């Protein structure tokens, strides 16, 4: 049984790490605020719970594992809401998502601030 728990926790650690790396790359490479918010939201909503689940599995049944599971539930409940609130506030503030041909990197080079006021 211990070997199975170890394998599941290793799987959680590896998949959480992959989501962290891809979310970080997405936050750096994506062209506008909304795409970057999506990358950060995916990282927060998928990577952190997988990593926390891996830690909780390694701890076994203890009070520390229960605390980690409570934090995991809090993350799953609040992070999607926070990402949505940030995107909605940006829309209300006048920022618009890039669509069509303005997604290429040449347009980003001409506007280093990343603002999409066109």
80: Cβ contacts below 8 Å, ≥ 6 apart: 41, 45
- Contact by Cβ (8 Å): 80, 99: no
Res. 109: pLDDT tops 80: no
Average pLDDT value for residue range 67-71: 90
Average pLDDT value for residue range 32-38: 85
Q: Is the dihedral of CA 76, 82, 83, 88 positive or negative?
A: positive
Q: Per-residue confidence at 118, pLDDT binned at 50, 70, 90?
A: very low
- For residue 23, being part of any structural domain is answered with yes
Boundaries of domain holding 52: 2-94
- For residue 111, being part of any structural domain is answered with no
Which DSSP letter does residue 57 get? H
Count up the domains in the chain and report the number.
1
Please state, in angstroms and rounded to a whole number, the distance separating the CA atoms of residues 33 and 90. 8
- For residue 83, being part of any structural domain is answered with yes
- For residue 104, being part of any structural domain is answered with no
* Predicted local distance difference test score (pLDDT) of residue 114: 56
Mean pLDDT, the chain, rounded, equals: 83
Res. 16: pLDDT tops 90: yes
């Amino acid at each position: 049984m211990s070997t199975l728990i170890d394998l599941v926790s290793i799987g959680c650690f590896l998949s959480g790490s992959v989501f962290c790396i891809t979310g970080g790359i997405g936050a750096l490479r994506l062209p506008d605020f909304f795409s970057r918010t999506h990358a950060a939201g995916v990282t927060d909503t998928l990577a952190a719970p997988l990593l926390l689940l891996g830690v909780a599995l390694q701890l076994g049944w203890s009070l520390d594992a229960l605390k980690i599971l409570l934090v995991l539930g809090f993350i799953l409940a609040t992070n999607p809401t926070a990402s949505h609130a940030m995107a909605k506030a940006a829309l209300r503030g006048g920022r618009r998502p890039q669509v069509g041909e303005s997604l290429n990197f040449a347009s980003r080079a001409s506007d280093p601030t990343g603002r999409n006021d066109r």
